Structure 1
Amino acid sequence: MPKNNYKSKIIAATFVLLTLAVIGGIVTMIIFYNNQISTMNPTPRPTFPPTTAAPPPSMRLPRNLIPESYEIFLQPHLYSRIIEEVNVTSPNQTTLFTGNSTVHFKCVQRTRSIYLHSVDLVVSNSVVKNKDTDERIHSTVKYPKGSGEFLEVQLNEALEAGGNYSLFLAFKGEISESLYALYVSSYIEGVPDYEGDTNAQRFLAATNMEPTAARAVFPCFDEPEMKAVFHLTVIHRQGTTALGNAERCGSSFIDDEWQYTRFHPTPRMSTYLFAFTVSEFTATPCPHNRVDIKIFARPEATAAGHAQYAASITGKILDFYGDRFGIDYSQRKLDQIALPDLSPAAMENWGLVTYQEGVLLYEEGVTSTLAKERIASIIAHELAHQWFGNLVTMKWWNEIWLNEGFATYMTYIAVDAIEPSFKAKDTCVANNLLTAFEEDALASSHPLSPPEQDVQENYEIFQLFDGIVYSKGAVVLRMLADVLHEEVFNKGINMYLWHFRYNNTDEQNLWDYLQKAVDADGGHINVAKVMDPWTNQIGYPVITINTTNGEIYQKHFLFNDSSESSNWWYVPIRVMSKTTVPSLAWLDSSDKVKKGEFISKNGEWILANVDCTGYYRVNYNLKNWESLLTQLETDPERIPLLNRGQLIDDAFNLARAKLVDVTLALNLTRFLRNDTEYLPWRSAVRNLEYFVHMFDRSEVYGPMQAYLRQQVSGLYNFFRNYTDNSTVPVDHSLQKNQIIAIGMACSSGLPECVTMAREMFSKWMNNNINMIHSNLRSTIYCQAVAHGGRREWEFAWKKYQTSVDTSEKDQLLLALSCTKEIWLLNRYLEYTLNPEKIRLMDTDTAIQYVAGNVAGQTLAWNFIRANWLYVSRGSSVSLILAVTRRFSTQFELDELQRFVTDIDLPSARVEQATEQIRVNIQWVRENKDTILEWFEGEAGW
């Protein structure tokens, strides 16, 4: 939204008097607060070895002071509604926030300086007290030269080791517009009015602290290991509700305009989990016999029951985890809030979990029924964090996988338990494997646990939140659980959580407690020895099996065959044949070994990595590949479902790494013409996407599209009766495959699909009644706009503007990018620069959608270069990766390198983009002619 919609220098001046008036009330409340609330300290604090206090420019705080608790008063001056005043030319909005904090800490090494994190805050009035003697120590505040992240409080006399002290600071800052730290969000109450009526516009304040934004809200020890208890009081405008991490324990009016809300002390936690919101939202209660669970949303959404589905499953998920871990959720309340704007999909703040509206709210008949699986999955992920991340936290960001890998791993287990009809387990496993495999096949990847010294700067922390940490972390844990057996794994995890509750850990602590469980069970696996190669080095192996002589060996799998690597792993291999059940064997060196179970008997096929429990690819001798292909074409049910998808993915990626011929991979897609299962089709579509991206601007594209039309016609006809009548199958996985059938059939130009999409969309345009099933809307909208013109696009744009349903807006956001009209795509890109047209939260997504369209890829690339200062406020690195996905020439690589140099973007993810482009260049050069010949032959071109 434009600044003049919520900032006014004229009106801001009036707040000077208001601020002075409130100061007296704040001081009174500080005294009251100290008298009323006792400190909560559930476990002993960790001790830090005495260290030399190193001032910035070191990126880490010295360990001479250990925080114990904070008393924080915060006052967002934001209005929730704009009030027009006579003779005032601008609305009465302000983004000022003020506050003060008192941090209580222990000194473990003598020092004359206190270092804290602080950024974009005006800090004043420092008061340092010796709590043991109640004496005040004279102090002055300064910002160290050359550092914008630190605050130094210089003292006239030293703090002594063993002493207890406190530091009071007053501060003020600006509520952010960039969805980070304390930020402003807005929404329209009721039906959107684009004629200038501001009475329907509502504003709210929310926080998003992970990983390093707490320092932009109050001065603090903003590192995950420096846990403390937080006592929060929020001063907010009457008519609004303040939510925090803990339960509310007091609220009262200050004057005719302001009130305050006090919260009980939080558990001992890290600063990145600190959260609060101020809004006019209303609550939907969730049934639970122990925890007070509520879901907050826009009043209109609450009244319409859009939070009911989330409310029905939250308590069940919470109970499932409590039973699974042997530890109940540790607070008495859990609030979940659906925000109009949030940069991640959700954030696990302890006791106040924040979500984007579209991943928490469900509207019957509008939101896809498949969206229930996403809602359940994201709630399950965030609630898993209440144990992994909140209760037990990694010591430093280099091991964030201990949070995110575990939460991702537990997600499908929880969803499978509470919503078994979703069949989420196989889908989640496949998605995580494919994501991790792709990102980890580059030499520019990073380990799950990179060295601590390599993760110091903020950008180094941010770039860790990727598919390696989330997806590889999850599949490596699944592999370990399979090897140890679930009951042993679960026992070790539960001991780990119990022992380290309210404290911090590293992965060695995890291995130690899993080892205790293994030893208690009489096992002989050395957990740390087996797991260290999987977490401390990049990549994963490809296992090559010769079924003629049983020879097997491993090699680091890399797309770039010129990269050298000596990495190797302890590899657990589950193997079966056509006539035998799975058994486990270990490959524990880089040397070739003989294994009897890998010799083919009577010429039958052998299949390794049964059910994809291992994080590795498998290559075979050609005869075994051909036997597996024959099995897929004659009786695919004999091969486990996950492996049917993985065989396709392995073959395509082995071909990209030049370990098998590309025609072998393409041959593996033949059996799909008679297969209706989702996972094999999902794997094939994902891999064929790479072919489309490489060749949709070349002569390969025509015969490739003809082949895809042939292959998908059977699948499309399997669902045609459902599709033509705008209905869906009961089976959840078939619902997903129906969407693949429509998307692939229409995009490859199958006439009956294109006609169906255009007719359904036309009926909506003509009678304004949308009869398209909610599951099918995203795909049909996109195809109708792609095969339409200005009229279809402008209808979709109008619906995007006026819809109040987040799910519908998300579907239309994609559809608008599907047009082939260059001028419409350019207009759409320009709209992303206006937050009143497209929310900042959705800017990256819209640009990435345009880049995914062959007609829009060059437009998107030129657009982000021309408007980098604006678009880079989002996830700039992922944006670059998405927009350069089709790059496959030296000229395009040179362009990217010049751009990255010009903007000085330091990121390993950019290195991944450049490495991938080099791989693309070589792969296209070496395979184009072969691929063209194969598609022409198969399609009869």
Structure 2
Amino acid sequence: MGAKGFFISKAVGVVGIVLGAGAVATIIALSVVYSQEKAKTDAPVAPTDGTGTTLPTVPTPAPSNEPWDKYRLPESLVPETYTVTLHPRLIPDPITKLYIFTGTSHVVFKCVKETQLILIHSNKLNYTKALNGFLATLTTEGGGAPAPAIKSSGLVEKTQYLVLQLSDSLVKDQKYKLSTTFTGELADDLGGFYRSEYLENGVKKIVATTQMQPTDARKAFPCFDEPAMKAIFHITLVHAHGTRALSNGMETGELIRTTDQTIDGMSVQVTTFEPTKKMSTYLLAFIVSDFGFIQTTLEGVLIRIFARKAAIDANQGEYALSVTGPILKFFENYYNATYPLPKSDQIALPDFNAGAMENWGLITYRETALLYDAKYSSNSNKERIASIISHELAHMAFVKKSYHYMALCVGFASYVEYLGADHAEPSWGVKDLTVLSDIHRVFAVDALASSHPLSSKAEDIQRPEQISELFDAISYSKVQSTLTKINNKVSLCILQTYLNKFAYGNTVYTDLWDHLQMAVDESGKPLPGRVHDIMNTWVLQMGFPVITIDTATGLVTQKHFLLDPESNVEASPYNYEWIVPITWMKTNINQPSIWLTKKSDTRVEMKVISGQWVLANLDTVGYYRVNYDMANWESLLNALTSNHQDIPKINRAQLIDDAFNLARAKEISTILALRTTQYLTKETEYMPWESALDNLDFFYLMFDRSEVLGPMQAYLLKQVTPLFDHFRILTVDWTIIPPGHMDQYNQVNAIGKACSTGLPQCQTLVQGWFTSWMDNPAVNPIEPNLRSTVYCSAIAAGGAKEWDFAWDQFLKASIATEAEKLRAALACTKEPWLLNRYLEYTLNPSLIRKQDATSTIVYIASNVVGQPLAWDFIRDRWSYIFNQYGGGSFSFSNLINGVTERFSSKFELQQLEQFKKDNEAVGFGSGTLAVEQAIERTKANMMWISENKQQVLKWFVDNTLP
């Protein structure tokens, strides 16, 4: 049966711009409130001098009445320049045994509103009192009357301020300079100015490095640590001989110098850097290490890759160096803007909490996100490196076009990273993978009643951990998922005009709406409303719609999609209606596209004869799910069975995902969803298989402790065996690598699922490979693409001998990607005592790095044997884990979700609610929302099992019979 897709017409093409270029603003909206909201007040805390001693010179404020009790800075002072000198010690203090840094800071700011109070962020810094007896000195800059005297100074720990009260008011429009001298700990907490440790030839090496986002620049030096408070930074680093200092600016040039000095009787180097562009504090970076590097130059831009010397010597930075230039040039062309910096440094750090960070001119990465070794790294490792480099360079390519808001940069880069990676590796088809990695990912969160709009409430975003909590799937993936392809000259022109107008400045999402509206007006092609009205339906309310199409009547309707349709949701300013463009695939629909503006107001003329079918959301470009009348579902299922290639592979993946989630929301039957997997015996494409396996994972979570597991395993064994045989033949009995990027991914699926469902040939194969490696550890016969699944399968089938061998290989691994594969596979054992031992290892940073602790616990919890062990573990040690691993850590929501995703009983719900109650005083940091979502999800799981268990069991039994 032939099929033809109707794409949006030229008349609706401007909507592609609105939903494409316009969705840039959905990213802006995520953090618009972060810079605009008014401060929330809490119980006051008297300032101290940094040693814990309360300073009597600062009066005790009235409750909720003083500026230093609010988490947001007042708007009276605006920084212009910082001059900061820092000296990190890479050896511990002989008395305290602490690693420390010392520093001085001079910040020049302008008074824009008269005030007798200076508030500047400071966290975990101890200050040396100046000659005036206070913690800082204040002078007038650029002429004018002398600065008022400081009357009192102190620190407020709760809201993280250095507080200076003055004898008189600062003068409006006058510039002042605030100078401080301070000491901080170079801790191993992965935030602010911290230390990373590694072994090289048996010798411990220390790296002093930074991670400022979102609110940790204040741990390195006193600063106005909010994104809107942009300034120019002059950085100087004092460091030991034999080490190299890096920062955002170049360290060489006419105005830059590296000199020798003597400090505390020791000869040191002093490296001064070029001043930065005007930018936010969270984009600052400075690093001292003895790393090696490789470099190249592209049209005058110096590109360097830094890493441990052993990694550089092993050529692990070569791939990153090879793709950085092409990606950088792609973004220059894409934005019609020259890269504005003289260099692009990228550095791989042994300890780094995020995947990467887009610091201007000095991008920091986990080693797994930057280093590649063809002997050890899989194609998924390679794709991750290309995509993350593209993501970070997407920020860098328009550095002069700063959006100001952190989540704007994050969300926009999440979209265009696929464009850059696709340019660097066009044969991979990575743009198609956004359906799996972004749309399906964010759907799962945005279908909960505890989701949140892209624009958060003012009162909800105040404290640092609340800001961290914003960095979830909604910010990273929803924006990307609402974009249509920005690939035409008109939309690019709009973006370029918008970005140039607000270069180096601050902007709000309505500024972009205005630009888009002008383009719409000039086009003469009206939309079903103003751009503001259209886009606000996506920005200012949470969730997304399910579009229901009745092919018999032509009626097209929408409603808010919720996994639990009976859950209570907050009122929406748009009544949970969206303005949605619908694209079709079918030759007998006369309209190529329609606008759906209300819940029920659109009819489409359809002449669907028996056996034919209609498919909406062609290529899954829209951010919505689609349901059909039963007759059309039957026709689609028949099409999958008879000739599945009539339906594009992206839409086959989406049909499966829509069906399973519609079933969970009680829109269709669970049996109908399961029927979408019956055709898989004929399917060899990665995307539909991955979609099916992702959705069937939910069935495993719900039933792998029940009598349903056996029949479900038997059914999936039946479905996956043809795929296993397909790849056995394609690879000539596993002796060659499949040629296609996605074929390599699907080979992993074939082996992983065939082994886990008990296919004897698969289990013999992987155990043979692993045994061969154990017999000769110097020669690993397992192809890198297959190592993750082979390691897991072999360790799951083995015992202590296999686990101990893998642990030993993990400790010896010098390649980060290889260590990551082993770390995940070690959680696959079925031996509870080994899993408990592994859990204990997560609290020992010498065994499991702090950056990997929470994800290792999640790996263990994903194992049905390990889940209750992990749950007991974090309940028993929550206070320690929370305090040691950072309440503001981005990974805490993943930890809560990972350990509780299998919960589906009343007892587990009670435990979860008790866990929340027991730890209210400790808190959950960036995992606070995840706790609420876990409770909601557990209730929904309980209901789903009660309604579906028996019919699912019967269906698996019936469909496994010969």
The normalised TM-score by structure 1 is: 0.90
Q: Which residue of 1 aligns with 2:580?
A: 571
Q: Which residue of 1 aligns with 2:183?
A: 172
| Higher mean displacement: 55-64 or 685-694 | 55-64
Change (3 A) 1:580 1:729: farther
Aligned pairs for 1:115-130 (under 5 A) are 115-123=119-127, 124-125=129-130, 126-130=136-140
Preserved contact between residue 401 and residue 500 of structure 2 (Cα < 8 Å)? no
Report the alpha carbon displacement of residue 680 of structure 1 after superposing the two structures with TM: 0.2
Q: Deviations over 1:243-295 (max 9, x none)?
A: 00111121111135311110111000000111111000111103412211101
1:757 paired with 2:766, answer yes
Report the alpha carbon displacement of residue 94 of structure 1 after superposing the two structures with TM: 4.0
1:282 paired with 2:292, answer yes
Q: Which residue of 1 aligns with 2:593?
A: 584
Q: Which residue of 2 aligns with 1:877?
A: 893
Give structure 1 stretches of 5+ with no counterpart: 1-46, 84-89, 194-199
1:543 paired with 2:547, answer yes
Equivalents in 2 of 1:315, 1:582: separation in Å?
44
Q: Which residue of 2 aligns with 1:940?
A: 961
SS at 1:509's partner residue? Answer: helix
Preserved contact between residue 67 and residue 104 of structure 1 (Cα < 8 Å)? yes
Report the alpha carbon displacement of residue 91 of structure 1 after superposing the two structures with TM: 10
Q: Which residue of 2 aligns with 1:87?
A: none
Equivalents in 1 of 2:597, 2:662: separation in Å?
22
Equivalents in 2 of 1:167, 1:499: separation in Å?
32
| Higher mean displacement: 676-685 or 556-565 | 556-565
Preserved contact between residue 360 and residue 399 of structure 2 (Cα < 8 Å)? no
| Structure 2 residue corresponding to 1:820, chosen from 810, 813, 830 | 830
SS at 1:880's partner residue? Answer: helix
Preserved contact between residue 448 and residue 562 of structure 2 (Cα < 8 Å)? yes
| Structure 2 residue corresponding to 1:509, chosen from 508, 511, 519 | 511
Q: Which residue of 1 aligns with 2:72?
A: 60
Q: Deviations over 1:826-858 (max 9, x none)?
A: 111111111111111111111110000001000
1:922 paired with 2:909, answer no
Q: Which residue of 2 aligns with 1:78?
A: 90
Aligned pairs for 1:406-425 (under 5 A) are 406-425=412-431
Equivalents in 2 of 1:394, 1:571: separation in Å?
29
Equivalents in 2 of 1:790, 1:603: separation in Å?
56
Equivalents in 1 of 2:560, 2:227: separation in Å?
34
Q: Deviations over 1:622-678 (max 9, x none)?
A: 000010111111111221221100000000000000110000000000111101000
Matched-pair identity in %: 44
1:654 paired with 2:662, answer yes
Preserved contact between residue 123 and residue 160 of structure 2 (Cα < 8 Å)? yes
Q: Which residue of 2 aligns with 1:21?
A: none
Preserved contact between residue 51 and residue 109 of structure 1 (Cα < 8 Å)? no
Equivalents in 1 of 2:724, 2:104: separation in Å?
62
Write the letter of the residue equivalent to 1:166: K
Equivalents in 1 of 2:609, 2:515: separation in Å?
42
| Higher mean displacement: 459-468 or 579-588 | 579-588
Report the alpha carbon displacement of residue 876 of structure 1 after superposing the two structures with TM: 2.3
Change (3 A) 1:433 1:48: closer
Equivalents in 2 of 1:867, 1:478: separation in Å?
45
Preserved contact between residue 234 and residue 275 of structure 2 (Cα < 8 Å)? yes
Cα RMSD after superposing both structures: 2.2
Q: Which residue of 2 aligns with 1:673?
A: 681
Q: Deviations over 1:585-610 (max 9, x none)?
A: 110112242222x5524552000000
| Structure 2 residue corresponding to 1:310, chosen from 315, 320, 342 | 320
Change (3 A) 1:59 1:625: same
1:151 paired with 2:159, answer no
Q: Which residue of 2 aligns with 1:196?
A: none
Change (3 A) 1:850 1:582: farther
Q: Which residue of 1 aligns with 2:810?
A: 800
Equivalents in 1 of 2:854, 2:586: separation in Å?
47
Report the alpha carbon displacement of residue 870 of structure 1 after superposing the two structures with TM: 3.6
Write the letter of the residue equivalent to 2:521: D
Q: Which residue of 1 aligns with 2:258?
A: 251
Equivalents in 2 of 1:774, 1:581: separation in Å?
50
| Structure 2 residue corresponding to 1:493, chosen from 485, 492, 495 | 495
Higher relative contact order structure (alpha carbons within 8 Å, sequence separation ≥ 6): 2
SS at 1:173's partner residue? Answer: strand
Equivalents in 2 of 1:48, 1:865: separation in Å?
37
Write the letter of the residue equivalent to 1:158: S
1:264 paired with 2:274, answer yes
Q: Which residue of 1 aligns with 2:9?
A: none
1:238 paired with 2:241, answer yes
| Structure 1 residue corresponding to 2:845, chosen from 835, 858, 862 | 835
Preserved contact between residue 39 and residue 71 of structure 2 (Cα < 8 Å)? no
Change (3 A) 1:718 1:224: same
Q: Deviations over 1:47-92 (max 9, x none)?
A: 999999961212110001111110101111223xx89xxxxxx799
Aligned pairs for 1:362-401 (under 5 A) are 362-387=372-397, 391-395=401-405, 400=407
| Higher mean displacement: 135-144 or 930-939 | 135-144
Preserved contact between residue 147 and residue 176 of structure 2 (Cα < 8 Å)? no
Write the letter of the residue equivalent to 1:113: L
Report the alpha carbon displacement of residue 134 of structure 1 after superposing the two structures with TM: 6.8
Write the letter of the residue equivalent to 2:496: N
Preserved contact between residue 640 and residue 679 of structure 2 (Cα < 8 Å)? yes
Equivalents in 2 of 1:187, 1:486: separation in Å?
47
Equivalents in 2 of 1:379, 1:390: separation in Å?
19
Aligned pairs for 1:680-759 (under 5 A) are 680-721=688-729, 722=731, 724-759=733-768
Equivalents in 1 of 2:204, 2:126: separation in Å?
30
Report the alpha carbon displacement of residue 353 of structure 1 after superposing the two structures with TM: 0.3
Q: Deviations over 1:125-152 (max 9, x none)?
A: 3111122237353215533667341111
| Higher mean displacement: 323-332 or 449-458 | 449-458
Write the letter of the residue equivalent to 2:537: P
SS at 1:892's partner residue? Answer: helix
Preserved contact between residue 152 and residue 166 of structure 2 (Cα < 8 Å)? no
Write the letter of the residue equivalent to 2:691: S
Equivalents in 2 of 1:726, 1:390: separation in Å?
50
1:595 paired with 2:609, answer no
Equivalents in 2 of 1:629, 1:339: separation in Å?
49
| Structure 1 residue corresponding to 2:214, chosen from 201, 204, 211 | 211
Preserved contact between residue 76 and residue 112 of structure 2 (Cα < 8 Å)? yes
SS at 1:158's partner residue? Answer: coil
Write the letter of the residue equivalent to 1:738: Q
Give structure 2 stretches of 5+ with no counterpart: 1-34, 41-64, 131-135, 570-574
Preserved contact between residue 50 and residue 63 of structure 1 (Cα < 8 Å)? no
Aligned pairs for 1:186-201 (under 5 A) are 186-190=197-201, 193=202, 200-201=203-204
Write the letter of the residue equivalent to 1:102: H
SS at 2:67's partner residue? Answer: coil
| Structure 2 residue corresponding to 1:613, chosen from 617, 621, 637 | 621
Equivalents in 2 of 1:723, 1:509: separation in Å?
58
Change (3 A) 1:149 1:738: same
Write the letter of the residue equivalent to 2:861: A
Preserved contact between residue 488 and residue 521 of structure 1 (Cα < 8 Å)? no
1:445 paired with 2:457, answer no
1:224 paired with 2:227, answer yes
Corresponding residue pairs, total = 870
Preserved contact between residue 860 and residue 866 of structure 2 (Cα < 8 Å)? yes
Preserved contact between residue 492 and residue 514 of structure 1 (Cα < 8 Å)? yes
Report the alpha carbon displacement of residue 447 of structure 1 after superposing the two structures with TM: 0.8
Q: Which residue of 2 aligns with 1:24?
A: none
| Structure 1 residue corresponding to 2:102, chosen from 90, 98, 101 | 98
